[in-house]
Structure 1
Amino acid sequence: MMQKKNRAFLKWAGGKYSLVEHINARLPQANKLIEPFVGAGSVFLNTSFKRYLLNDINPDLINLYNLLKAQPDAVIHDTQRFFTPEYNREAMYYDLREEFNQTSDPYYRAILFVYLNRHGYNGLCRYSLGGRFNVPFGRYKKPYFPAEEMIVFAEKAQRATFTCLPFEKVFSRARKGNVIYCDPPYAPISKTAAFTSYAAHSFGIDAQTRLARLAVRTSAKRHIPVLISNHDIPVIRELYQGADFTNLSVKRSISQKGATRKPVPEVLAYFAPRTSPVKPDLSVIAGNK
């Protein structure tokens, strides 16, 4: 286990910082960790695999990670300029949010993405159906600039490849000897709790079902272990039949009233690679697959 826990440099709904010990305990040894839903990267930052394939459907996030990996000093220096009282004003925030929505310059978008993440309400990442970032101003006294966390991320990113693909394509890149950890947008506890507009794509029950089937197939037929986290609710238990479950209780705000914030039951579902001998596929051996 790593001695010091590393925090992600972005604020992130559903971030896994508080659960990395539990996740680490369930991840088997492997030469590469693949994360189809990397988010802010807490699992990546607190594991010690030789290589990583880190994916997210949000192109702004992956663009930022690639630029931070390639030119950390410049990105950190240029982002820090936006963390002064002058920029922590409502009118300025909305001006910069509009600039972010108007520009297609990857470097400027990356810098503004960090600014909006730290100055926006609750560190949310939300887009309209038209793809416009629409999180309101956060009203923080002095937003924290995560220079140290960005340096740690950039150093570790040298071991990682970042992609922006649908999760199915990421699964297809996995090979024997790898392990896959999935932290998808969670199935809603209630109909009103659905929060799926994170990257202008929803992740409904169809997507949850496709992911579960892919996990079963990948572990059983391709002998690649898959670990998935999600809410511990009946529909998820049903979808993940046959997995080995670890129950977790997570303190997370699902209510705006602080007094009614209760621990939310979550589950880690581990799909072990099938170890029973499999008959060789003679067509593959003959080279006519």
Structure 2
Amino acid sequence: MLPVSRATLESMRDVAPVPTRPRVLPRNDPRQYDDLADEWWQPDGVFAMLHWLAEARAALVPPAERPGALLVDLGCGAGLLAPHLAGKGYRHVGVDLTRSALAQAAEHGVTPVNGDATAVPLADGCADVVAAGEMLEHVPDWRRAAAEACRLLRPGGLLVLDTLNDTALSRLVAVHIGERLPTVPRGIHDPRLFVDARALVTECARHGVTLQLRGVRPQLGGLLGWLLRRARGAAGTAPGGRAPRMVPTRSTAVLYQGWGVRKG
């Protein structure tokens, strides 16, 4: 990968300036990420939960086993995974459709690739790790995206992901409740795209990756404390404090993590 020039980064920022008035867009419209470009690195902003999930996802990634090991971050957004990979020894390549987000990812040490998760412009078997965090439920054809994630892995490479299950409970929690809290932007999800956990396991197995799953959720006390601090922040007091931790659950009915190694 060639280094990204300052001129390239500036052009990526300039491609979609943040409008002065919020647009009303269809659910899951990628243009929302341009409109919310200033929110990515606000730890108490509308993408707060993505920060918490990035930390939990990174915990599944072991230190690199060889020099030059490559981690491909599908749907990387503004690179929220990067701080949690510091010191693990990976070259971090981020793939995303949104150029304004990629410009911010590059500022955090991610090599940006503007591309579609269903047709990634990278070579077969190039990656030691592929991360697909909070991405599959935004792709009209998640099966193709899962196949691409597996294709990119070298034999013995690790796939880590998190996504929303295709259940009535998930639609209730993630859309009807979650999008009314200050942790998730309204309209960011299209529940018709949510990913059935059993179907995802089957799809990854077709491509040589045996996926293990577990449910995850924010630790309840931490979430309530964060919401209270956030409410006080809206009234003029800085939120501050520790962000909620994501903790494992027995049920994968709403939000779940997956991890698996590609067979040799």
If the TM-score is normalised by the length of the shorter chain, which range does it land in? 0.3 to 0.5
Greater C-alpha Rg:
1
TM-score normalised to structure 1 length: 0.39
TM-score normalised to structure 2 length: 0.42
Which has a greater percent of helix?
1
